Amino acid sequence: MSSEPTSVTTPLTSAEARLRGVSQEVPPVAAGKRRVSAATVGRQIVLAVFLIYCLLPATWIVTAMTKDNGQIFSTFGLWFAYPFHFLENLSGLVTYQDGIFVRWFGNSLLYAASISIGSTMISALGGYAFSKYDFPAKQFLFNFILGTIMVPSTALVLPLFLMLNKIGLVNNMLGVILPSLVNPFGLYLMKVFWDSSLPNELIEASRLEGASELKIFWRIGMPLMQTGLVTVALLAFVGAWNNFFLPLIVLSEQKLYPLTLGLNVWNSVSSGAGGKPVFNLIAIGSLVSVLPLLIAFVALGKYWRGGLTAGATKG
């Protein structure tokens, strides 16, 4: 085998080829290629098996949403059945129980948007303080806040419920939104992004020109933080959209529920004795409740990847 490793991946430019006197049409290591393809097949089989595994639940959703309830029980769960009931299910979804699903969807949007925007702003301000200023006990405070990520949510939410009960925020949208504004991981990410996005020299120069601290933060700093802001906001949005435990504890009225809780109510009723089963509506509702996140992930792909990398390598 040739001892020129780079020639496998980088084809020679025509100038180089002429200099070295080799023809470009001849692949550098033709014999090596067949060996690689055996490994490639094995690799692709492993990837394909895991791909099928990942898509199993999606397959169930997509097939079940075209069936009526009887078909869901009587036909194979991972394939379609005739006749189709997709449009029926879609209209059922928005009309069942006076269209409560639409309300749940709106609630989820409201919770996720307000939590995402609010917690990102709060984290941006706090992260700026940790990144750009010195104050007593700074390192201790930062480590302490990060350490609280480890407190189990149940440990926090149950006492939180009793507290909210005292101040009258139980069964109130604010009872879900306000506690979710605390985002220690967002604060950490924001500090990391401030460290790398806004050079200290720029702050010093702006101070010399007489800019106030708030103006430096808002007018000079924030425009440089676009990536960081979108990343933290996106992660917070996903977290809030997926939240289950806090609303489960805080909310008692179904019309305040987010999607996750609402679909779970339908499931409990469908699975319980005497309840009208609506598995077809649950299936199509699941798809609808997943769509906004999938769209956000595809549209903002580079941001969540950036967030994960920052979380993983800068630890």
Partner 1 sequence: MRRYRKTAFLFLTPFLAVFIAFYLAPVGYALYLSLFIRKRIGVGPPKEVFGGLANYIRAVQDTDFLNGLKNMFVFGVVQVPVMLGLAILLALLLQQSRGFFMKICRTAFFMPYGIPTAIGALVWGYLYSANLSPFNQILQAFHQGKIDFLSPAVVLFSIANIVTWTWTGYNMITLFAALQNIPSDLYEAARVDGAKTWDIVRRIQIPLLLPTLQILFIFSVIGTSQLFTEAFVLRPLGYLADNITPNLYLYLTAARDANYGYAGALAILLALLIFAISGPFLRRIASR
List b or e across 198-223, with b for residues whose CB sees 16 or more CB atoms inside 10 angstroms: beeeebeebeeeeeeeeebbeeebbe
Please identify which residue in 213, 215, 252, 255 interacts with partner 1, judged by CB under 8 A. 213
Q: Which of residues 177-206 bind partner 1 (CB under 8 A)?
A: 178-179, 181-182, 184, 187
Here's the x/- map for partner 1, 45-64, by CB under 8 A: it reads as: -xx--xx-xxxxxx-xx--x
Q: Which positions from 1 through 30 interact with partner 1, judged by CB under 8 A?
A: 3, 5-6
Structure tokens given for 107: 């609630």
Candidate ranges 26-34, 39-47, 84-92, 224-232; the one touching partner 1 (CB under 8 A) = 39-47
User: CA-to-CA distance for 46 and 61, rounded, in angstroms?
Assistant: 24
Task: Tell me which residues in 267-306 interact with partner 1 (CB under 8 A).
Answer: 267-268, 271-272, 279, 282, 286, 289-290, 293-294, 297-298, 305
d(CA 311, CA 234): 14
Q: How far is the CB of 191 from partner 1 (least distance, A)?
A: 11
Decide: 266 and 282 in contact? Cβ < 8 Å: yes
One-letter amino acid identity for 149? I
What is the footprint of partner 1 within residues 233-252 (CB under 8 A)? 238, 241-242, 244-245, 248-249
Answer yes or no whether residue 76 interacts with partner 1 by CB under 8 A. Answer: yes
66 contacts partner 1 (rule: CB under 8 A):
no
Q: Which residue type is seen at 23?
A: S
Please tell me whether the peptide bond between 5 and the residue prior to it is cis, using omega within 30 degrees of 0. no
List the one residue from 29, 90, 94, 145 that touches partner 1 (CB under 8 A). 145
Give, as ranges, the residues between 88 and 117 that touch partner 1 (CB under 8 A): none
- Compute the least distance from the CB of residue 256 to partner 1, in Å: 16
Region for 68 from its dihedrals, namely left if φ exceeds 0, alpha if ψ lies in -120 to 50, beta otherwise: beta
